[in-house]
Amino acid sequence: MNIVLVGLMGSGKSSVGRILAETLDRPFIDTDQAVEHEAGVSVAELFAREGEAAFRDREAAAVADAAGRPGQVIATGGGAVLRPENRAALRRCGLVFWLDAPPEELLRRAVGQGVEQRPLLAGPDPLERLRSLARNRAEAYAAAAHYRLDTAGRGARAVAEEILAILKESKQTWHSSM
């Protein structure tokens, strides 16, 4: 079974994912990185050159590819849940965790990581953009995820520990139901 992380930009998917992969000794896959590797250019460059629709096609291919292998930790791009086929593939291939936080905090974290790498936040009001993405995508994240984690005010390690505890619990439940 894979461990899959979904959520908006700045929600900590990559940081939490790396900690989980290291702790559990599993490969770490980041679908944005997979797209960049395949295309040979950055996500920002892809948006500029080919537009968002072409990026989403590449992203869907990366999601399908990652979901086709077991035993990994998979961090997805913030918009990977938008396509129903991506949501279905992610839910089928493992346990899906939605890392959620208020837009103000997401923006602070995204800025800390370099907002220029996030083409969707490039406009004049990135906070309003995050607020509207949060509103528009809440349903898609909820449909994709088995668990929603409130990460407000918490570091990546604390969130990773909560996920590890859930995994332990779900394994026990599974064993005791056999």
Tell me if 94 contacts ligand S3P by CB under 6 A.
no
Residue 18 one-letter amino acid: R
Determine which residue in the list 5, 43, 93, 101 makes contact with ligand S3P, applying CB under 6 A: 43
Dump the DSSP string for 91-120.
Answer: HHHEEEEEEE--HHHHHHHHHHT-GGG-GG
Q: Which is nearer to ligand S3P, 93 or 121 (CB)?
A: 121
Binding ligand S3P (rule: CB under 6 A), the pick from 77, 94, 103, 126 is: 77
Told to check if 63 binds ligand S3P by CB under 6 A, we report no
Place of tokens 């490039």: 122
Binding mask 125-154 for ligand S3P (x = CB under 6 A): ------------------------------
With contacts defined by CB under 6 A, name the span among 17-25, 76-84, 100-108, 159-167 that binds ligand S3P: 76-84
Task: Please report the beta strands in 20-146, taking only residues with DSSP state E, as ranges in sequence order.
Answer: 28-30, 73-75, 94-100
CA distances from 15 to 50, 65, 153 (A): 28, 21, 15
Task: Tell me if 118 contacts ligand S3P by CB under 6 A.
Answer: yes
Among 50, 57, 54, which residue's Cα sits nearest to residue 83? 57
Binding residues (CB under 6 A) for ligand S3P: these are 9, 13, 32, 43, 77-79, 118-120
